[in-house]
Structure formats: C-alpha cells, structure tokens
Amino acid sequence: MTQRHLIAATILLAIAALAAAPARAQTQAGQREAPAFAPVTPERLLNAEDEPHNWLMYSGNYKAQRYTRLDQIDRRNVAGLEIAWVYQLAVLDRAETTPLVVDSVMYITESPSTVIAVDAATGRPYWRYEHPLPDGIIICCGRNNRGVAVQGDRVIMSTLDAHLVALDARTGSVLWETEVQEASSGYSKTAAPLIVGDKIFTGVAGGEYGIRGVVDAYDLESGAREWRFYTTPGPDHPDNRTWSGDSWRTGGSATWMTGSYDPELNLLYWGTGNPGPDYDGTVREGDNLYSDSVVAL
C-alpha cells in the first residue's frame, strides 16, 4: 500500500504519552452536537499564532507560514510517540485535508465533499455532513477537498461541484449554499476558503477544461457574492492585450489553492495556475496575464 493510500485511509494523532483507548469502535455512534466553544472572532484569526493549541485556518495563520510554537514534542521524546487514536475515513480516495482544531473540536474533510467534526482528544465523531454531488462533474486531478474555514459559529466548505456551503459548527446543519460557477462548464473547487473579517475569499479549479479563473469574495452571513476578480482580463482591461483574440474567455489561470492575507496592507495574495490550453500556446499567443502568477488584491 502506498503512502498516499495510507494517508487516505486514516488520520493519526500521536502524542508523547501513553496511547489512549482507541475510538474506532465509537465511530458508528449517531450524530450529536459538538460542544460549544468560544466564538472564532476576526481578532482570533488575526492572532491565530497566539493559540498554538489550536489550528484556526488552513495555513495556520494569514501569513500562510504553517508554523506552530508547540514544544511538547521535541528530539528528546519523539521516539516515544504512540498512536493516541485513529479515525477511519469512509472512502479510499485522496486525502489532502488540513484538519482545523478549534478548542476541543477537530474539523476534517473527506473526499469528495464531506466534513466531519470529531473530538480532538478521542477521535470520536460528533457529526458528519456529506454534500450531494450531481453526475457529470469534470475534474482533472483527483476528487480532493483540502479543508474548511471557520469563523463565529460557522464552518465554510468548498465543494467539488463549485459551490460554497456554510454549516453550523455545532450541528453540521446547512445554513446556506451558493453556486460559485457551473460544474458542467468544467469548474470545480477543492481548496479551503479563506475568511477575513466578514468576507469569504475563494478561487476555482479547472484550468485544464477551458474555464476562466476568478478570485471571489462572499458575505459570511448570507453567502451573497460581493465582488469577483478575473485572472484572465477581459476587453475592458489593458492587460487583455496579452491574450490573442478571445482566448481569454477560456484561458484557465485557475486559483485552485488557498491564498494568504497581509492585515497591515489589507492585501490578499493569490496564486494562479497554468494558462489554457496548457500544451498548445499557439491558440493564446502573448504573455497570458495573470496566469502562472501571484496577484495582490
């Protein structure tokens, strides 16, 4: 079995202590509410690095450093780590999730578009939400879901059919759902959203299928879209000249990974993918801005 399949099959939590009783036998328990936790405020997200016992966003903090100040495990005791608990995922598929930890609750995503809330101490599940997907979804590189975003009492997830879904953090019930783009046109979403203030920022995947890349902002409360930035400029923008003819309409430049944020400058930084079609540049002559770039918004 490959390493990827091992990761896809299980999520392991190891601590430098004696192993706790396995929670595997408890995973068939019925849905139940997760315990209440202190609201995840914008201030907590701005200062996420000050809560090393938590992991409040996909990259750990807005700087996307993925660094933690936890120091309980070090070179002196790492050899004594044992498995504390195992949560068995329900599908044998890709597992590229970054779990979030909010006080005592861990939020895990499972391919293709599922969220599970578990007890971070035992691995016992609280609730599970599985987003229904239509037939005919066009995807390139795996039925992935890389994680969620949390603020207030809400968990926000992107789905493989290019929707955004807001869930109640305690119960997993759907609060709202928004279609970002049409999945039948080649759009999909696999990245964790990024929440700043009262806005959700998110991109799209599908650069291999003639999409037009975007970075979107949505209202956290209602799910309404507030603005959209196209990563292949249209005729009303001077950088449209970097695309020949109408190639910008299907130019790819997908925004398929989570961006970062600088609170001092109030700027988002978002990476973009390949122009499309990626292997035939003759149909899109020019510099093809803003593909293969980092954009500051």
Condensed to tens digits (0 to 9), the pLDDT of residues 224-254 reads 999 999 999 999 999 999 999 999 999 999 9
Is 107 within the bounds of a domain? yes
Average model confidence (pLDDT) across the chain: 90
Is 227 within the bounds of a domain? yes
Q: Whose structure tokens read 């975007």?
A: 214
How does pLDDT run across 37-93, given as a tens digit for each residue?
999 999 999 999 999 999 999 999 999 999 999 999 999 999 999 999 999 998 888
pTM for the model: 0.88
pLDDT at 6 over 50: no
Q: Is 152 left (phi over 0), alpha (psi -120 to 50) or beta?
A: left
The predicted structure's pLDDT at residue 30:
65
Residue 205's DSSP bridge partners are: 188
Strands (E) located in the chain: 10-15, 82-88, 100-102, 105-110, 114-119, 125-130, 148-151, 154-158, 163-168, 174-179, 194-196, 199-203, 214-219, 225-230, 260-262, 267-271, 294-296
Contact by Cβ (8 Å): 18, 85: no
Is 32 within the bounds of a domain? no
184: helix, coil or strand?
helix
The predicted structure's pLDDT at residue 13:
43
What number is the average pLDDT over the span 190-211?
Answer: 97
- CA atoms of 247 and 253, how far apart (whole Å): 12
- Counted domains in the chain: 1
pLDDT at 139 over 90: no
Is 24 within the bounds of a domain? no
CATH code at position 212: 2.140.10.10
Neighbours of 296 (CB within 10 A): 11
The predicted structure's pLDDT at residue 143:
87
Is 22 within the bounds of a domain? no
Domain range enclosing 199: 3-17+39-66+82-296
- CA atoms of 126 and 148, how far apart (whole Å): 16
Is 282 within the bounds of a domain? yes
Contact by Cβ (8 Å): 5, 77: no
Specify the higher pLDDT residue, 223 or 91.
223
Neighbours of 172 (CB within 10 A): 21
Is 75 within the bounds of a domain? no
